[in-house]
Amino acid sequence: MTRIPTYDDVAAAARRLQGQAHKTPVFTSRTADTQLGAQLYFKCENFQRMGAFKFRGGFNALSCFTTEQRKRGVLAFSSGNHAQAVALSARILGIPAAILMPQDAPALKVAATRGYGAEVILYDRYKEDREALGRKLAGERGMTLVPPYDHPDVIAGQGTSAKELFEEVGELDHLFVCVGGGGLISGCALAARALSPKCKVWGVEPAAGNDVQQSFAAGKRVKIEVPRTIADGAQTQSPGEITFEVIRSNVDGIFTATDEQLVECMKFYAERMKMIVEPTGCLSLAGAKASGLDLKGARVGIVISGGNIDLPRFAELVG
């Protein structure tokens, strides 16, 4: 069994990220507080470097490489924020990077990844299995594969966002976190257990793809079809092996949000808080609203995971 990360790993990640990751702002909104009858604290990872929390995990994982690993380089497969996180971290640390991306990935994302100096290898997502291809390429080139969530150093890095939140605002009653493969919530839950032990930690998934909710209920990892949702950062089919272990013992429950509820939150963030938040980043607030939990008078943390969305797509969704 792979190593399960602890809060000490999160604290060590925070030291590695010092001066590299932004300490993202925590915002409040009277309007949101009134709607929920609670005091909300928004941890804004949409203002993290490269636009999402994934820089934290990527940079931490690459910082833990041995000299030999650094020389040979890193390989990642992703069409989204993890690709850019690994590419940027590799550039900062002087590590060669190759990123496997689907041929039909948005040109903008391919360009951004190349812009960070990474070699982009395109594959046909309908014909080739990216995990098999990734493993083959990594093997041939001696590169280290860094997965987007199911890795102790990635999880520890992601947890530094909640660590910063608790250190800034103190203990909370509830914390809502967006969930894809579960890396972010795993790290955040480890931070919560150490820094705010009574805080309930809730994950939020797209209603169209509740693999973690099903797994949580079943007590074992459940695999689903690729969910159709606008939350493209949370289209995972099952939780990771490590993330599921951490979630099972440190998370209180999983809620879901529909695409309509996500769009409503995108509008709210844009109109009232003057922020562009990508659909996946809206899961936490949408889930808090849809949870049915009595949040009256509670101190509630909302982790906004990222803000990367093309403007035309943003306009199409909120227009």
Q: What are the residues binding ligand PLP (CB under 6 A)?
A: 52, 54, 80-81, 148-149, 178-185, 233-234, 278, 280-281, 305-306
Cβ 43 to ligand PLP shortest distance, Å: 12
Does the active-site annotation cover 215?
no
Cβ 234 to ligand PLP shortest distance, Å: 5
Cβ 151 to ligand PLP shortest distance, Å: 10
Backbone φ and ψ for 100, nearest 5 degrees, come out as -85, 120
Closest to ligand PLP by CB, 149 vs 244, is 149
Closest to ligand PLP by CB, 172 vs 242, is 242
Cβ 140 to ligand PLP shortest distance, Å: 27
Closest to ligand PLP by CB, 24 vs 81, is 81
Q: 59 near 84, Cβ under 8 Å? A: no
Q: If you search the block for the tokens 């069409």, which residue do you land on? A: 79
Q: 71 near 94, Cβ under 8 Å? A: no
Backbone φ and ψ for 174, nearest 5 degrees, come out as -140, 150
One-letter identity of residue 244: F
Selecting among 43, 63, 78, 79, the annotated active-site residue is: 79
**Which sign, positive or negative, has the C-alpha torsion 57, 62, 66, 72?**
positive
Q: 26 near 301, Cβ under 8 Å? A: no
Selecting among 54, 109, 163, 289, the annotated active-site residue is: 54
Dist. CA 108–CA 150, nearest whole Å:
26
Does the active-site annotation cover 54?
yes
Residues in the chain: 319
Closest to ligand PLP by CB, 75 vs 262, is 262
Q: Give me 56's structure tokens.
A: 């934290």
| Residues assigned a catalytic role | 54, 79
